[in-house]
């Protein structure tokens, strides 16, 4: 009899997929915006793509016939929008210069997803989709536009 996992998928990372202890990673929720099928002339291998423009987002929605779950367009200032081809991502774990997506192969399928930018403390890092055993399925390099620095408010009368 195997014990059931009491943690939701978004918070649980198998030890084999992470290089460091689990406590050193920030779990980031994966929000699926849409799902669809890859066109006949599309790639056969798993791929990750960072969607940076509204034009690219619209072409993906039209070209892949995505069934959108969310009705809002992506907001690059608040979210990192990703396209997974031949993959199905479940959770993300971030540490320093690498974010790992817990994923499984899904031949012929497309997933459009968002991750909040709130927890990414580096502007450039590697994103790797890995399976339960830690094997890399696809990688991408993410370069975020720096967000405005927040002013530090100290004392009763901030300037």
Residue spans of the domains in the chain: they are 9-143
Sign of CA dihedral 33, 38, 39, 43: positive
Give residue 156's pLDDT.
60
Question: Half-sphere exposure (CA, 13 Å, Cβ side) for 49?
Answer: 17
Nearest CA-CA partner of 8 in 27, 36, 33:
27
Instruction: Phi first, then psi: give them for residue 6, nearest 5 degrees.
Output: -75, -15
Give residue 158's pLDDT.
55
pLDDT in tens, the chain (159 residues): 344 444 455 556 677 777 888 888 999 999 988 888 887 888 889 999 998 888 887 777 777 667 676 667 777 778 999 999 999 999 999 998 999 999 999 999 999 899 999 999 998 999 999 998 889 999 999 998 776 665 555 556 555
Give residue 36's pLDDT.
85
pTM for this entry: 0.78
Distance in angstroms (rounded) separating the CA atoms of residues 114 and 32:
6
Give residue 106's pLDDT.
94
Q: How many CB atoms lie within 10 A of CB 26?
A: 14
Give residue 5's pLDDT.
46
Q: What is the CA radius of gyration of the chain?
A: 17
Give residue 2's pLDDT.
40
Q: How many CB atoms lie within 10 A of CB 126?
A: 13
Give residue 155's pLDDT.
57
- Cβ–Cβ under 8 Å, residues 142 and 80: yes
């Amino acid at each position: 009899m195997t014990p059931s996992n009491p943690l939701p998928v978004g918070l649980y990372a198998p030890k084999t997929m992470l290089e460091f202890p689990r406590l050193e990673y920030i779990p980031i929720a994966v929000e699926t915006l849409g799902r669809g099928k890859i066109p006949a002339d599309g790639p056969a291998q798993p791929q990750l793509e960072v969607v940076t423009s509204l034009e690219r987002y619209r072409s993906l929605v039209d070209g892949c016939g995505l069934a959108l779950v969310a009705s809002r367009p992506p907001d690059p200032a608040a979210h990192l929008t990703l396209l997974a081809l031949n993959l199905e991502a479940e959770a993300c774990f971030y540490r320093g210069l690498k974010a790992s997506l817990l994923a499984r192969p899904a031949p012929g399928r497309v997933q459009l997803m968002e991750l909040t930018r709130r927890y990414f403390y580096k502007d450039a890092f590697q994103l790797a989709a890995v399976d339960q055993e830690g094997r890399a399925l696809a990688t991408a390099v993410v370069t975020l536009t720096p967000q405005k620095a927040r002013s530090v408010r100290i004392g009763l009368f901030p300037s």
